[in-house]
Structure formats: structure tokens, C-alpha cells
Chain A
Amino acid sequence: MKVDIISEWTGEIGEVTIGATKKEGGSRCAAIVIGGGSGFPFLGGSAPGRKPLIAFEFCDDPKLWSPIVTEFEGDVVNDAGAWAARAEERHRPDLLRFYLTSTRRRGFQEFSQVGRSVEEVLERATLPLIVEGSIDPAIDSETFLRCGEAGEGERLLLGTAEEGRYRSVAAAAMAYGHSVIAQSPIDVNLAKQLNILLRETGVPHDRIVIDPYTGALGYGFEYSYSAMERIRYAALKGDEDLAMPMISSAIDSLNIKEVREADPGQRGEMAVKWELYTAVSSAIAGASVVCVRHPDTIVPLRSAIDSLWGKTGGGD
């Protein structure tokens, strides 16, 4: 039996640039382009797009982070700037993703610190930066204003817009030249709706990255995989409101039962395995950026991606 693989699509995935070099008015070591392509990864025949990139996630309040990671990293986690610098030098990801976890504490009001933290990370590290602000509508306006301001000219990727609270993120992106992560709860229709809302607010398509939300492997990942496929499929079939690159971060991987209940000596290894297999699967589903939190995940993940896409395959 001969199976025909569709390789003629009408749509194309858009591109988003993250980071600006000195020449472009920023201070990053590179301006990275993600997205592009007009086919599915590994189905041959069509241009599958660039090789997926790896982002390392860290934060400004390590008490609200997985102890598996903070214990592994040691004291450096108490200084976001230092952590960023060391991650860049030792862990060698393609991007950094900075979570302002401090804003998630009840009654948070230290807004000037938000701007300072972002500035410090930008000073100490040179990789293109993703910044995750608050997740509470009551403080979104102040928080994202500071994030946007502090990163002006750096072409940050700002997260995270959701239905019902996307205006501040959108405003910060529009006012200070950044891009936006648009997250929807594993649902292609809601992903599309949010992108339309962002478009109507004035955020151009080439500054939106879709986060379809990624469940951990064995804990809902199959739904995420399916949502990613459907988003890509719709985009390739010509739906421009879904033709953006995707970012995937299976943040629950470090909290699942298998990791929590593992023998203390094995816990780190278990966490790495779970992150690794989820991230590889997300990349195959079509994610342009895959995010991890355990430093040890990066090397095997890179080698897996290289073995699939080739050392230089698709990337630029």
C-alpha cells in the first residue's frame, strides 16, 4: 500500500524575532528568528521550518520554584542576575526565560523591583530574553508596564496573555516593541480567539507566539500534542490567525507523582527524564521553542534535537 503524504499546503507559519543586537538598538548577542516553514516536521516533501530552540527557565523568587532545581543550582538562585549569567555560560541554552515569581506572592506591591530585576538580567546575560510577568489582573497593569519599560529596545518575548487578561501584556508589547506569548488551555478555537483579540488590540501577527499549554507526559500531554498538531494543521491550511510559531513548557514535569515520590537519590534524574521526553515530543509536534527548568535536561535535549533535525538542519 502506498501512502501519500500531503506536502502541498496553502499556508505558512509566520516568523517572530526575539532579541535585538547592539546594532538594532538592544544589547543581545543575537536576534533569533523562530517559526517559518510550510509543513509538518518529519513528513518530508515540504519545508518543515527551523530547528526548535531550547529556553532555560529561571526566576527571581526561588521559594516559588521546584526545590529539585534550586538545590541542584545552589546559592546562585538567590540572585537572578547571577543565575542568568551562569545559566548562559554553563547550561548553554538558546534563550533565557525569566519568571517574575516574586509577583505571585499575595499582596505584591514592589513594582520598582520588577523593572530592576529585568534590567539586571539584561545586564548580566546576553541571550535573547523571554520575561514572564504577573498572573493576577489586579497587578498586571503595573507589572507589565515595568517589564516593557525595562526591556525597551531589547525585543523581549513577554508572557503571558490569556483570554480575559491580555490587555496589559499587549499594551507593553505595543508600547515598547516586544512580542507576546498567547496562552490558551489546550483548545485550538480558544487559541484562535485570543489571537484575534490581540490583533484587534493592535498587536501584529508577527509579534505573537502561541502557547497551547503543555501538560506533562502522562498527565495530559497527549491533549497538548493534539492541540499543537491541530493549530499547525489549521495554519498550514491557511488560517492566518493560527499561523504563529509555538512555545511549549511542560512546567508540571517537576511536580508529578513519579518525580515527587522517586527515591531522593534518583529524583533529579527522574525530573530530567520527564522534562526531556516531554520536550522532545513537543518539538516533534511543532513547537519552535521548548523550555526546561533542570539544567541537566539541556544537553540530552540538544543532542536529541540535533539527531532529528541535523546539527544545522533548518536553523539559521
Chain B
Amino acid sequence: MQDVEKSSFSGKAELLKMLDGIEGEFSYEGTAYHLPVTYAITGRAIHTGDEARSAYEDTGGNPLVAAECITSFEQAMHGKEEDPYTGFIVDSVLRKLGYSLVDGSILGLALLAGTPPRPDTAAAICRELQEKYILTFLAGDVISSLVESGVKVGAEYRLVPLGKQPLMGIHFIDIIARVAMMFGGVAPGDTDRLLRYAQERARAFVIVFSGLDEPEIAVYDAFGLLGIPILSVDGYEGKEWVQVEAGDAVGKGLDLKGIRVTVTAIPIPMACSPAFEGKSIRKEEMFVEFGGGRSPAFELLRSRPAEEVTDGKVTVIGPEIEDIREGSAVPLAIIVDVYGKTMKKDYEPVLERRIHNFVNYGEGTWHVAQRDMVWVRISKEAVAHGVRIEHLGELIAAKFRIDFPDLLDAVQVTLITDEKKVLEAKEEAGLIYEERDERIRGMKDTDVDTFYSCTLCQTFAPNHVCIITPERPALCGAITWLDGKIAYEISPSGANQPVLKGDMIDEVRGEFEGVNRFVKKASHGEVDRCSLYSILEYPMTCCGCFECIAVMVPEVNGFLIVNREYTGETPSGMTFSTLAGTIGGGAQTPGFAGISKGYILSDRFLQAEGGIERLVWIPSLLKEELHDRLVQKLKERGIESLFDKIADEEKAVALEDLIEYLARVDHPALEMPPLI
């Protein structure tokens, strides 16, 4: 066993000695990038020994620079090694290689170096690399060992023999440096960007066998700077070199660099694309529906340990499509279990919200709302083409893997259509929703300087922009400020973007200069101003996903709230669906606002209009659902008696009845300053 730290230390001294022996002029042929590694790091073109030594010194003794200068000098002195060794690879060949990397026909790069314990060890590793679409470079005795065991080497076999000595592995790095400059827009000399590019985008790893000498160990150890892991099959220990069994080396390398053979086509009898996202399925086109108040339904995404998730597994518990009568409403639980090394519990709600998009991607499937409010339909046409409930699961599982390849390693979907089991599971889900909401409670808008946007619904409502603050969740109720922050972490170019508050324009209405600027841009210039805490002046736009609608009732000087589940009339003379049709689509409608249930309990709710005292009517079921938390909130504000003064449909549905009721109970809104 060689100690990497020690060998590397004495190796560096030897490299310096070798570097001292360089003289005369030298360069590589067939490249516009001089000595590419040195050029990328220092921005300097090296042609002489003195230049080489000064570059080495200026990089703080970078072994990669030393190895490159030595190799280039050797090749200039003694010519390239004979066939099959390629030595330095010219730009024109490299361009093709870069093409294949961008194009996806090569998924990554690997380097094998040293002397394998047995010829078939290297052969097995190479076979696996070929199967995984990895372009493999070879340096050292591994090449003769492969040839002896009958393995064909050469670029056409995706096994590129660089040279006899492991030191020739430096060409692996000059390739990565040139790919960064050619394709990654990295300017020569911009070391920071080079490192960032190599670490984030170069899908490369190295497998070493014994037989590296000390200078070579120093050079290979320096690969780590570029985020290239060194997997040691035998012979070395220490530093960040990863010890692996020969049989696990490739898997480990792919894993460390997040290289995956990706799924592209989803094997279901239905087209699946964002093109279908905006398409709805009307009642007469529908074969079966789930939820939407017609049957119990919910969706839940949970992070689970690796052993509990079988990737791609889809289970349907309860009746399948052939057991279902056309036109009926059936219970449904969509439970998505995921596992990923970097997956966090905090990511769950954000990923869960994606189920909405994925189901809508299906040509014959449709989805609205979230959590235990979901409403899903499958069209007659889709069922005629053979779509079953299990395909919903396959669609969801595949889309998660395609869209979050770096985050999720395994996705499994369980669909329950058995009513009893759905109801049982729904109770558990309720606890999880509650736990998630709890996490954000207590945070104030004044605690942060950044809000988050959500433009997920712009496919339906092109100019709609949700601004999510700690005290105002997205109007769909599914994304809190924390979720927005996490969603931005997961995908920085996604639908949730940070919004700097900027200067305060109006404290009471919650109008901020930064928010206005963002909203104007994200709404394509349609909306200039947005007040976060007012429904009367410049309210936020509404898409169509709101959990509830708050409506001004000028006759009683207050507001009523109606939730999606309530299908009856309201004192405004309109039902939820009529109201939704009026205010949705991305418009700003003073006097009306789409809101989440959570927002009703926020101190910021109706802040500009005088607060919760303005609330005059909510459906009884919603009142019951919010009961504990609402009573608590009112107690905090010393207006506990308000709870019973808020009317519901049992007290009043017609406006006259509401006026009479409010007068009878002496509702505070009646005494407040007129709204208009």
C-alpha cells in the first residue's frame, strides 16, 4: 500500500527535478490551445523550459502543469509513441468528442491507469464502461494487459490508449481543459470558472491500479482539484482516494459524478408532453374522475430510505380501470415514494406539487389542485387506447426520474382506489400536511429580505405571478415561502425565483418596489403594482388553483370567503365556480382575491382593510376545518367572540339574511370604516 499523502509529497519534488531538465522549444501539434492545461489555468502559452518553470511556480507548484510541460517536452524530443498509443489528441478529434458529449451519445469520460492485478479485471471494467456509454482513456500497463486478454482498443471501441506510462493520463486532463474552453466558454486563465466547469459539468472519473510512481501519484492526486474522483482498486490509501473493489469501481464512479443512463420514452399508451398541459377534459369526454369533492382523493410524496423504494415500481390497490363504470367518481390516493442521496425532507412538498404538471402532461389525463383537494380525470379516448390507472403511476414515476435525475435515484408509485384504504391513508397524509405547515408558522415577512415567485401556472394563466412570503403562502396552498426557497435551490432556472423586497412603498398594503419590478417583468408588463396585504388596491393576480376566494361584500362592509369544496351559493350571489371563472386566468380583480386556506390565519390577511374583523361569512366545513387554529388566532388578538359572529351557509345564504344576521350578532365589520 502506498500512502498517497507521502508519495505525493516526494513526487512533487521529483516533478520539480524533471521540470528542471527541460530546455529548448517545444509544443503540441494540432491545437489552438498550446499546452491546454497550463493555458487554461494561467492563460499563458508555454513554449520553453523557462516559461514552463515560471508557470509552475506561479501556480504554486501545480503538478498538472509540471506533468503537462514534461510530457509535451518528451513528445517534442522523442516524437509520439508508436501505435496503438495516441499521445496528445488533436483539436479536430476532440471537437468530435465534445460533440458526442453534448449530443448525449457519450455520457461521461473515464481514465484507467496503472497495472491491473489480473488481465480480466481490466477487461471486465472496460466492458461495463462500454455498456454505460462512457468513453474510456487508458494509460500505463493496463493497455498491454487488455490487448493480451483479447480486448480491442482504439477510439472506435471507445477505449483510447493514451500511452505506455501512467503519466500520459495528463492528456485526460488536457482534454477536459479544452472541452471547458471550446464548449463551456471558459476563458484561458480564468481558473475559477475552469474549476467550476470541471466540477459541475465534467462527468469524469479515474480508476487506478497499482504501479503508479511517486510523481504520478502527485499528478493523479491533483485531479481532485477539478472534482475528478480517483477510485483505487488496489495499491493506494489516504487523502480523498476512494477504495473500491474492482467489480464496484464503475458503479461507484458513475454514482459519484451523477452519471445516469436516462429514460427518455415513457412506455404508456398515451402521448406525454407539456403541449397537453393546458388541455382540460370536460365531463362528457371523461371516463372516470377522482376527487374534486366527488370522491375522497389525495396525493402525497414521501422521502423514504433506499431499501423501501424499488425504482419504477407501480402498484394499484383496489379496482383498476376495467372494474370501473364509465362516468363514475372513484376514490384515489397517489403516493409517491422517493429515494435520493441528496433528497431532503424539506423538498417533499415542492416535488409533490410537480405531480400536478406531470399528470397534465398526459394527453388523456387532467389534474387540478393539490394535497387532499386534488381532482383528476382520465378521458374516454385514453381509456379506449388502453390507458389504465397504473399508467398514471408509470407516467409520474418516469417524469420524476427524467426531470430530477440528479436528485432522485429511485421513485415508486402506489395508487389506491379502494375507498376504505384511501380514507385510512388520507388521515396519515393529513398529519404530514399539518406538520409541513407547522414548519413555516412563526416566520414573519419582516424577518426576510427576499420573497419567492411562482409562475408554475403561466401555462394556464400566462400573466399570473404569485408572490410567496413567509406570511402568505401561494394561493394554491401547496407552496410556502420555504418551499419556494427550496425549489429555487433544486432548480435555479425553475418557476420559483427569488424576489428582493426592495424599498417599502406602502407598509399597510404591503407594496414593495422590488416586488413591483419583478411582477411587471414576470407578467410580461401586464401588472405594474402588486400589494401583498390588500384585496382592494392592486391585489395579486389569480391563476385558477386558489384554495379559496375572498370576496368583498360592500353591503355589510366586510369580506366573505368561499373554498373550492363548497359547491353551494354564497351571499355574493355567486358560487365558487362562477367566482373562479370571473377572477381567474391571471387577472388582477380589485375586491376579489384567490387565497390559500393558510393565509386566512395570517396576521397579514386583509391587513390593509382592517384585518380578520372584516370576515363575515365562510362555509361551515371550512370553519370547522380551521376551527382550532382560527379560535387560537382570534384569542391572541383578543377578539375571541368574533368566531361565532362569522356567518356560514346555515346562518345565511341570501344577502338580506346575512345583513340581518350580522346586525343581530353585532358583527364588528358593521362599525368599521366603509370599504368604499
B84 proximal to A (CB < 8 A): no
Tell me if A196 and B103 are in contact (CB < 8 A). Answer: no
**Contact pick for B102, options A149, A175, A234, CB 8 Å:** A175
Contacts of A174 in B (CB 8 A): 98-99, 102, 182-183
Interface hits, A145-195 → B, CB 8 Å: 145, 148-149, 163, 167-168, 170-172, 174-176, 185, 187, 189-190, 193
Tell me if A202 and B183 are in contact (CB < 8 A). Answer: yes
CB distance from A293 to the nearest CB of B (A): 28
A10 proximal to B (CB < 8 A): yes
Give CA–CA (A141, B524) in the complex, Å: 37
Give CA–CA (A145, B441) in the complex, Å: 55
The residue in chain B whose Cβ has the minimal distance to the Cβ of A6 is B525
**Contact pick for B275, options A187, A200, A202, A204, CB 8 Å:** A187
Given A141-B105, A175-B182, A175-B183, CB of A196 within 8 Å of CB of B99: no
The residue in chain B whose Cβ has the minimal distance to the Cβ of A176 is B95
Interface hits, B56-102 → A, CB 8 Å: 95-96, 98-102
B493 proximal to A (CB < 8 A): yes
A239 proximal to B (CB < 8 A): yes
CB distance from B588 to the nearest CB of A (A): 17
Tell me if A189 and B184 are in contact (CB < 8 A). Answer: no
Given A196-B493, A202-B184, A237-B524, CB of A167 within 8 Å of CB of B103: yes
Give CA–CA (A174, B98) in the complex, Å: 9
Give CA–CA (A141, B96) in the complex, Å: 11
B contact residues, total (Cβ < 8 Å): 24
Contacts of A196 in B (CB 8 A): 493
A201 proximal to B (CB < 8 A): yes
B251 proximal to A (CB < 8 A): no
Tell me if B98 and A175 are in contact (CB < 8 A). Answer: yes
**Majority SS at the chain B contact face:** helix
CB distance from A32 to the nearest CB of B (A): 24
Contacts of B582 in A (CB 8 A): none
B577 proximal to A (CB < 8 A): no
Q: Mask for A232-253, Cβ within 8 A of B = 1, else 0? A: 0110011100000000000000
B185 proximal to A (CB < 8 A): yes
Tell me if B96 and A238 are in contact (CB < 8 A). Answer: no
Contacts of B260 in A (CB 8 A): none
Given A185-B275, A187-B275, CB of A167 within 8 Å of CB of B493: no
Tell me if A148 and B99 are in contact (CB < 8 A). Answer: yes
Give CA–CA (A193, B458) in the complex, Å: 12
Tell me if A201 and B102 are in contact (CB < 8 A). Answer: yes
The residue in chain B whose Cβ has the minimal distance to the Cβ of A163 is B273
Contacts of B99 in A (CB 8 A): 145, 148, 171-172, 174-175
B10 proximal to A (CB < 8 A): no
Give CA–CA (A190, B273) in the complex, Å: 10
B104 proximal to A (CB < 8 A): yes
The residue in chain A whose Cβ has the minimal distance to the Cβ of B98 is A175
Give CA–CA (A193, B459) in the complex, Å: 11
B521 proximal to A (CB < 8 A): yes
Given A187-B275, A190-B275, CB of A202 within 8 Å of CB of B185: yes
Tell me if B274 and A189 are in contact (CB < 8 A). Answer: yes
**Contact pick for A238, options B102, B458, B525, CB 8 Å:** B525
Contacts of B273 in A (CB 8 A): 163
Tell me if A141 and B103 are in contact (CB < 8 A). Answer: yes
Give CA–CA (A187, B462) in the complex, Å: 12
CB distance from B4 to the nearest CB of A (A): 34
Give CA–CA (A141, B103) in the complex, Å: 7
Tell me if B102 and A10 are in contact (CB < 8 A). Answer: no
Give CA–CA (A85, B659) in the complex, Å: 85
CB distance from A191 to the nearest CB of B (A): 12
Give CA–CA (A193, B275) in the complex, Å: 11
Tell me if A168 and B525 are in contact (CB < 8 A). Answer: no
The residue in chain A whose Cβ has the minimal distance to the Cβ of B265 is A164
Given A175-B95, A175-B96, CB of A237 within 8 Å of CB of B525: yes
Q: Mask for B158-185, Cβ within 8 A of A = 1, else 0? A: 0000000000000000000000001111
Contacts of B462 in A (CB 8 A): 189
Give CA–CA (A200, B101) in the complex, Å: 14
The residue in chain B whose Cβ has the minimal distance to the Cβ of A187 is B275
Give CA–CA (A49, B102) in the complex, Å: 33
Given A202-B185, A237-B525, CB of A167 within 8 Å of CB of B104: yes
Tell me if A234 and B95 are in contact (CB < 8 A). Answer: no
CB distance from B184 to the nearest CB of A (A): 7
Give CA–CA (A174, B185) in the complex, Å: 10
Contacts of B459 in A (CB 8 A): 189
> Which has the most chain A C-beta neighbours within 10 Å: B101, B185, B273, B525?
B525
Tell me if B274 and A190 are in contact (CB < 8 A). Answer: yes
The residue in chain B whose Cβ has the minimal distance to the Cβ of A169 is B103
Contacts of A163 in B (CB 8 A): 273
Contacts of A168 in B (CB 8 A): 103
Give CA–CA (A171, B100) in the complex, Å: 7
> Which has the most chain A C-beta neighbours within 10 Å: B99, B101, B274?
B99
CB distance from B431 to the nearest CB of A (A): 37
> Which has the most chain A C-beta neighbours within 10 Å: B183, B521, B524?
B524
Contacts of A144 in B (CB 8 A): 103
Give CA–CA (A190, B275) in the complex, Å: 7
Interface hits, A1-42 → B, CB 8 Å: 10
CB distance from A49 to the nearest CB of B (A): 19
> Which has the most chain B C-beta neighbours within 10 Å: A172, A189, A193?
A189
CB distance from A165 to the nearest CB of B (A): 10
Tell me if B521 and A238 are in contact (CB < 8 A). Answer: yes
Q: Mask for B344-388, Cβ within 8 A of A = 1, else 0? A: 000000000000000000000000000000000000000000000
> Which has the most chain B C-beta neighbours within 10 Å: A175, A187, A196?
A175
B-side residues, CB < 8 A to A, are: 95-96, 98-105, 182-185, 273-275, 458-459, 462, 493, 521, 524-525
5 A-B pairs whose Cβ atoms sit less than 8 Å apart in the complex: A141-B105, A145-B103, A149-B96, A171-B103, A176-B95
A-side residues, CB < 8 A to B, are: 10, 141, 144-145, 148-149, 163, 167-168, 170-172, 174-176, 185, 187, 189-190, 193, 196, 200-202, 204, 233-234, 237-239
A171-B98, A171-B103, A201-B102 are known; give 7 further A-B pairs, CB within 8 A. A141-B105, A149-B95, A167-B103, A167-B104, A172-B99, A174-B98, A174-B183
